[in-house]
Amino acid sequence: MKENNLTRRLSFSTRVTTLICGLLLIVVLFVPLWRIELSAPQYPEGLVMKMHPNKLAGNVDIINGLNHYIGMKTLHTEDFIEFTVLPYIIVAFALMSVLVATVLYKSQKWLRVLLISFIIFGIIAMVDFWRWEYNYGHNLDPNAAIVVPGMAYQPPLIGYKVLLNFGAYSIPDTGGWIFIGVGLLLVSGVIVEYKKNKHEKIS
């Protein structure tokens, strides 16, 4: 019976790359994933809120104080179920990467399953982040000290946006860039295996 592409073994280079992905994901547990920076004349040094896999950090108390004046809910780690489940999801992807590199390498399909799952998770995570920003930026207290009719304070999903006299930057932090790097490494692994299969077919 002829071996099809998905049942072929992974190459050594792809196995090493996938193992590196697993190790990098463990690092993500200990560094911030995302950051929102705020700049304004009254805060020349700037304010920053960092989102780790399991907590909020940075100038959260100052930002909460400012948000109170415009009617936004205060931000607390315990209010987000994401900070409870996200570390387990990251560990699961790390373990799956190690398994694909060391145990499941005899079938290329597991690398593709890992990549597709990782991409789906990334999309869900960004949609959830947008939903969180939307709710906090639009569901305002009508009795707040500062009310600007028709004004919402949703930070940008990624990039820069002006909110009253504040400039808000939303960008990946160390863990976010690692996530992007892992995704690119997994894509490169799938491409390498695809090209190898195509070359073997021709020869």
The mean pLDDT value for 134-151 works out to 85
For residue 2, give both structure tokens.
């002829």
The mean pLDDT value for 149-160 works out to 88
Q: Let me know how many helices (H) and strands (E) the chain has, helices first.
A: 5, 5
The mean pLDDT value for 148-174 works out to 90
CA atoms within a 13 Å half-sphere pointing along the CA-CB vector of 132? 17
Which pLDDT value is given to residue 2?
45
Q: Give yes or no for a contact between 43 and 179, defined as CB atoms under 8 angstroms apart.
A: no
Residue 141, pLDDT above cutoff 90: no
The mean pLDDT value for 41-49 works out to 90
Which pLDDT value is given to residue 201?
64
Edge-first strand order for the sheet with 34-40 is: 56-58, 43-51, 34-40, 166-172, 159-163
Per-residue pLDDT tens for 68-88?
888 888 899 999 999 999 999
Per-residue pLDDT tens for 106-131?
999 999 999 999 999 999 999 999 99
Confidence grade of residue 30 (pLDDT, cut at 50, 70, 90): very high
What mean pLDDT, rounded, does the chain reach? 91
Q: Cα–Cα distance between 29 and 52 in angstroms, integer?
A: 8
Which pLDDT value is given to residue 1?
37
SS3 57: strand
Q: Where are the domains of the chain?
A: 5-202
Q: CA 45 → CA 10, 89, 131, 167, distances in Å? A: 50, 35, 29, 13
Confidence grade of residue 10 (pLDDT, cut at 50, 70, 90): very high
Residue 149, pLDDT above cutoff 90: no
Amino acid at 71: G
